[in-house]
Chains A and B, each alone.
Chain A
């Protein structure tokens, strides 16, 4: 009996909802994964801030793309929690558009909160319960958002082992000044898409694209992972979202040499005995 119990607890530790499994990381773009020590942690708070007032929709698109990746990892629903004013200001999320962006509509639950305080409450509840695959929050009013509030969200995310993507729509341009407990912060700016040549007249717009800047990446928590690696917060990475493949493509240099394909093999053959961490740094 004792042996069985032990076996069960061992299994739960590996795959269970309450188990002490280490954070799984979501690698999504080579340019960022090294600084994030392998990818976005799936039990932390990630902030997404638009670069300019009009970039709110792009920031949402980036957050939803990440959410699509998180959703595809677990057969669970996701929550999209928005402050009511944000929907009025920049339009409500639109089902057909979400489907085109790569999100399964049947697995999304939309929550509309009348003000920021209730939105934070809803996000925290959702994170604590541990059921959603990811929680996307869109906050307009920054009044209630402080170090303490973000710490609460972070702890809730750790407790429930659910990633939280928080879009601070009105904090445009303040990405470097904000102080919060979030693990990562991205600043997202609009970027021209890869246009498709048309038969006549102007080109046709291409798929979703954005310029992403990693402003903050907290020290990775203790573990066998690589130590924190220096990153350049000034570097804008031009990402393109391929909703059919559910992948980001790095277009910083026109998508030529920084792709994840095998042709360029950067540093692959540099040394014989590299640690596991070195692989994640690639």
Chain B
């Protein structure tokens, strides 16, 4: 008896046949339910056609003591529910499907040698490739019936006659083509689960386990400094039924107690059915579907204590300043200046937060022009020329307490004349404080932006005096390939730049332009290098310096 046999024929062969009408909708629903149930093995469970399921078990088989044990476990549990299944396992979805549906040997060895592949697959019918019936019939007419028939023949004639699909499917079967499955649910960001040797039946026991699961989940969340916004509790019952309870939180949660309380509230709501443990629950999973960075603690009690702490911090800073000097205990702020050594200012911490103001704000925009020399994307926003420099103004008064952190100028001294830009009038500062704190955030976001990948654009440490290095570059205006710093030779393994920073020409002339590079050497140390002077325009022998370390 086979699929597609007409009813009279079947009756003729088996007179005692019991006939039941097909119910495609019910079958689809059952399949979906089974798919949900199978998510106990892996979060990546998908429907495969109208009569199959596809589970991605890569990386989970060891949790069930190997693939064979996993398959056995799955088969046993499903047969206990009255469902008999045929399971195939292979290293890609197409092969697994072919083995399950068409082969006697249901598990492909890992890794699969060419010889084993021939043995396993070459005798299977072409329908195992999942081709249309029409193509299979056409190929049968041409004498091609088994997979081996097309695998051993040249590709071009088969593609010319039957289209690209058969050969593409063959490649997928061999694992040469990347194939993926579409899981029914997105895998969660974090999840904790517990399996029980003997199913638990009482609601109290479920609550106890839920609390433990919440503890587990919170540890995972805390490690990533995240909180959960959407949480799902799944209960897998022995009889195959599955229950999902979803809750949402308006702020990221990372307290086990809060999570448990929300789930309890949800169960108490009239629209939700109470938990029915039935014959018992043998697997519980608590998953965080959406995680978000934690907001800083806002508890009122905490804040009250922080006020107290702020007082003792002020006392501490006074004590330190008294002994070490007020200039040794500082707070810093970002300054909107292009020269790196002027981009921050320090003020004695005893003056509090408001000691530093910003220079006049200016519009900054990050663009990514191509460098003329080597086509490498630029990091910063200034491509020579100076047309987009901010309209910075030196201010009238000076503010005594303000000191530039890196006050000694670098060797070529391009910056000294601009010292006035960092200091602003105390009265004007007061008026502008509010808007400028926002400005600080903008600056910070610009620094973060560096590149798409979260790579920092500015180094952790900056030398007060850039240290001269001997650098070897392919072309005079190209990036360095190798450099010697502090008598050690560093081979550049990765590099980004140039970011061109010119001195403020409207205030003084003569300071050479610098081209900054972020370089990583072969051992993984990251440096901020620059070449001083535009080759051919400002100097014929550009000098190289290391200005900072990224760590």
A interface, CB within 8 angstroms of B: 11, 15-17, 26-30, 33, 38-39, 54-55, 57-62, 64, 69, 72-77, 88, 90-101, 105-106, 108-114, 118, 121-122, 125-126, 129-132, 190-193, 195-196, 198-211, 242-247, 257, 260-272, 274, 276, 279-280, 282
User: Once bound together, how far apart are the Cα atoms of A94 and B340, in whole Å?
Assistant: 9
Give the CA-CA distance A101 to B454 in the complex, in Å: 9
Whether A97 pairs with B524 at a CB distance below 8 angstroms is: no
Report the minimum CB–CB distance from A43 to chain B (whole Å): 15
Sampled A-B contacts (17; CB under 8 Å): A57-B525, A57-B551, A59-B551, A60-B460, A75-B302, A90-B549, A91-B548, A94-B460, A110-B330, A193-B526, A204-B496, A206-B453, A208-B550, A246-B225, A246-B293, A279-B192, A279-B216
**B206-233 interface bits toward A, Cβ cutoff 8 Å, 1 = contact, 0 = none:** 0000001001100110111110000000
Cα–Cα distance between A281 and B262 once the two chains are bound (Å):
27
A-contacting 9-mer, from B47-55, B310-318, B359-367 = B310-318
Quick check: B479 and A201 within 8 Å, CB to CB?
yes
**A118-B323, A118-B324, A205-B495 known; A245 vs B193 contact (CB < 8 Å):** no
- Is A200's CB under 8 angstroms from B374's CB? yes
- Residues of A close to B313: CB separation below 8 A: 76-77, 129, 131-132
Which of A62, A94, A109, A282 contacts B458, CB < 8 Å?
A: A94
What secondary structure prevails in chain B residues at the interface with A?
mixed
Contact partner of A54 among B188, B319, B525, B550, CB < 8 A? B525
Number of A-B contacts (CB under 8 A): 331
Pair A27/B344 contact, Cβ less than 8 Å = no
User: Do A99 and B43 have beta carbons less than 8 Å apart?
Assistant: no
**Docked-complex contact A131 and B444, CB < 8 angstroms:** no
Interfacial residues, chain B to chain A (CB-CB below 8 A)? 43-44, 59-60, 63-64, 187-198, 212, 215-216, 219-220, 222-226, 283, 287, 293-294, 296-297, 299, 301-303, 305-306, 308-310, 312-313, 315-317, 319-320, 323-324, 328-334, 340, 343-344, 346, 349, 353, 374-377, 405-406, 440, 443-444, 447-448, 450-451, 453-464, 479, 488, 492-496, 518-520, 522-526, 548-551
Verify B189–A108 contact, CB threshold 8 A: no
Who on chain A is nearest to B217 by CB?
A279
Contact check, A57 vs B219: say whether CB atoms are below 8 A apart: no
Whether A88 and B464, one on each chain, are in contact in the complex, defined by CB atoms closer than 8 angstroms, is yes
How distant is the Cα of A276 from the Cα of B218 in the complex, in angstroms? 11
Cβ B459 vs Cβ A97 within 8 A: yes
Name the distance in Å between B377's Cβ and chain A's nearest Cβ: 8
A76 and B306 within 8 A (CB): yes
Which B residues are in CB contact (< 8 Å) with A27?
219, 222-223
Chain B residues closer than 8 Å to A75, beta-carbon distance: 296-297, 302-303, 306
The docked-state distance in angstroms from the alpha carbon of A200 to that of B406 is: 36
Contact of A110 among B190, B329, B460 (CB under 8 A): B329
Q: Are A90 and B461 in contact (CB under 8 A)?
A: yes
Contacts beyond the supplied A88-B464, A205-B519: 20 A-B pairs with Cβ under 8 Å: A39-B222, A72-B296, A95-B332, A96-B458, A97-B460, A97-B548, A99-B458, A100-B447, A101-B456, A105-B344, A122-B324, A191-B524, A200-B374, A204-B451, A205-B496, A208-B456, A243-B456, A262-B190, A272-B194, A282-B216
